[in-house]
Structure 1
Amino acid sequence: MRTFKTKWFAKKASAHGIADIALCEAVQDIQRGLAIDLGGGVFKKRLNCNRDRALVLAKSGDSWVYTFLFAKQDRAGISSAELQAFRKLAAQYDQLSVGTIATLIEQNEWVEICHEKKI
């Protein structure tokens, strides 16, 4: 299993004080069913003592990509249109090759935060 965060998410997570280890632990929670499955490879997970929400997109079940982060106090959730867009993005991520993922990492668009690490 590999876990990534987008460049945008990395900046937001840093501003919210969310460490990579917390993100890796949260992915393990998602795998155990401790998140809201929004369908189409999109999961919503509570972070940071329930103050923040993250949208995590699954790629064929073997990779996870942290894509969107928002504070619970700022918004209750995402709109139907946003959910549809995230589902489309998850489908696109599902088609990414290993080479394309390597390029995204090399170009600092994605940051790998845990790869088969024991938490």
Structure 2
Amino acid sequence: MRIFKSKHFDKFARKERISDDTLRNAINDIENGLIDADLGSGVIKQRLPKQGRGKSKGYRSIIVYKFAEFSLFVYGFDKNDRANITADEEENFKAAAKTILAFSPEQIQQALDGKAFIEVSNEPIQQPGKCSDPRIDE
């Protein structure tokens, strides 16, 4: 399973100090059937915890997901800032997912080369309190 972040989501994750470990844990939950909300058409809404807090008042992420192949974090928001995405946003994510889920390996590589996608590190999950993402200062 390859895990990616969109350029937009990467900016959000860095600002909010969401580590690659947290993203890998979210995908691991999905792979184990612990899906917070399956919006259909390959789009999942998954909760992410805030540092030192639980998931309920944390972040929400929108993920384009293709079982056992790849996932792409496309959007994130703080639950304190907004309750949910709009119906129009949901439809836009589903339309984008239709295109993204059809990407060939070459198209994925082009998105990586063009910096539209950033691959989440495959390093082992670190001990609590340790962050494997070098862009996030402890």
Output the TM-score relative to the length of structure 1: 0.91
Runs of 4+ in 1 over 2 A off after TM superposition: none
1:1-29: CA deviation from partner (whole Å, max 9, x where unpaired): 11100111001001111001110111010
1:64-109: CA deviation from partner (whole Å, max 9, x where unpaired): 0000000001111111111111111111101111111101111111
Query: Do the aligned partners of 1:59 and 1:93 also contact (CA within 8 Å) in 2?
Result: no
User: Partners in 1 of 2:74 and 2:68 — Cα distance?
Assistant: 16
Aligned partner of 1:25: which letter?
A: N
Aligned-pair identity in percent equals 33
CA apart distance, 1:59: 3.2
Query: Do the aligned partners of 2:64 and 2:101 also contact (CA within 8 Å) in 1?
Result: no
User: Partners in 1 of 2:101 and 2:15 — Cα distance?
Assistant: 28
User: Partners in 2 of 1:31 and 1:77 — Cα distance?
Assistant: 23
CA apart distance, 1:118: 5.3
Give the match for residue 52 of structure 1. 59
Question: Structure 2 residue aligned with 1:99, among 98, 106, 126?
Answer: 106
User: Partners in 1 of 2:119 and 2:75 — Cα distance?
Assistant: 16
Query: Do the aligned partners of 2:5 and 2:72 also contact (CA within 8 Å) in 1?
Result: yes
Q: Which has the higher contact order (CA 8 A, sep 6+)?
A: 1
CA apart distance, 1:60: 5.6
Greater C-alpha radius of gyration: 2
CA apart distance, 1:33: 2.0
For the residue of structure 2 that corresponds to 1:3, the secondary structure is strand
Instruction: Determine if the alignment matches structure 1 residue 42 to structure 2 residue 43.
Output: yes
Matches within 5 A, 1:104-115: 104-114=111-121
Aligned partner of 1:9: which letter?
A: F
Where do 5+ consecutive residues of structure 1 fail to align?
A: none
Aligned partner of 1:47: which letter?
A: L
Aligned partner of 1:83: which letter?
A: E
Give the match for residue 26 of structure 2. 26
Range with bigger deviation, 26-35 or 52-61: 52-61
Instruction: Determine if the alignment matches structure 1 residue 89 to structure 2 residue 96.
Output: yes
CA apart distance, 1:61: 4.7
User: Partners in 2 of 1:111 and 1:79 — Cα distance?
Assistant: 26
Between the two proteins, the alignment pairs up a number of residues equal to 118
Where do 5+ consecutive residues of structure 2 fail to align?
A: 126-138
Output the TM-score relative to the length of structure 2: 0.79
